[in-house]
Amino acid sequence: MVSWSGHIVPVIVTLAIWFMATGLIAWVDSRARGTFRRSVAVGGVVGIAGLVAILFSSGTVGVGAVYVSFVGALMVWGWHEIGFLTGAAAGPRREAQSLGVRGIERFTEASATVMHHEIALAFTALMLISLSWNAPNQIGATVFVLMFGLRLSSKINLFVGVPNSSLEMMPEHLGYLKSYFGGNRMTLLLCASIAGTIALAAWFASLAMAAPAGSPEMVGASLLTALCLLGVIEHLFLALPFRDGMLWGWAFKRRSDPV
Task: Tell me if 102 is assigned to some domain.
Answer: no
Task: Tell me if 184 is assigned to some domain.
Answer: yes
Range of the domain at 207: 4-96+110-248
Q: Which residues contact 122 (CB under 8 A, 6 or more apart)?
A: 148
- Strand ranges (E), 84-191: none
Task: Tell me if 256 is assigned to some domain.
Answer: no
Q: Which residues of the chain have pLDDT under 50?
A: 255-259
Residue 41 half-sphere exposure toward CB, CA atoms < 13 A: 5
Question: 118-169 pLDDT, tens per residue?
Answer: 999 999 999 999 999 999 999 999 999 999 999 999 999 999 999 988 666 7
Own/partner contacts of 7-13, CB < 8 Å, gap of 24 or more, are 7/208, 7/209, 7/218, 7/222, 9/219, 10/219, 10/222, 10/223, 10/226, 11/222, 11/225, 11/226, 11/229, 13/67, 13/223
* Distance, CA of 152 to CA of 139 (rounded, Å): 20
Task: Tell me if 74 is assigned to some domain.
Answer: yes
Task: Tell me if 225 is assigned to some domain.
Answer: yes
Task: Tell me if 104 is assigned to some domain.
Answer: no
pLDDT of residue 28: 86
* Helix %, strand %, coil % of the chain (to 5): 70, 0, 30
Mean pLDDT of the chain, nearest integer: 91
Give the count of domains, the chain.
1
pLDDT of residue 252: 63
Q: Which residues contact 170 (CB under 8 A, 6 or more apart)?
A: 85, 177, 178
Question: Which amino acid is residue 244, in one-letter code?
Answer: D
Q: Which of 147, 145, 128, 148 is nearest to 55 (CA)?
A: 128
Asked if residue 84 lies in contact with residue 90, where contact means CB atoms within 8 angstroms, the answer is: yes
Task: Tell me if 258 is assigned to some domain.
Answer: no
Asked if residue 29 lies in contact with residue 171, where contact means CB atoms within 8 angstroms, the answer is: yes
User: DSSP alpha helices (H): ranges in 132-215?
Assistant: 139-160, 188-210
pLDDT of residue 60: 92
* Distance, CA of 200 to CA of 208 (rounded, Å): 12
Task: Tell me if 255 is assigned to some domain.
Answer: no
Task: Write the DSSP symbol of residue 97.
Answer: P
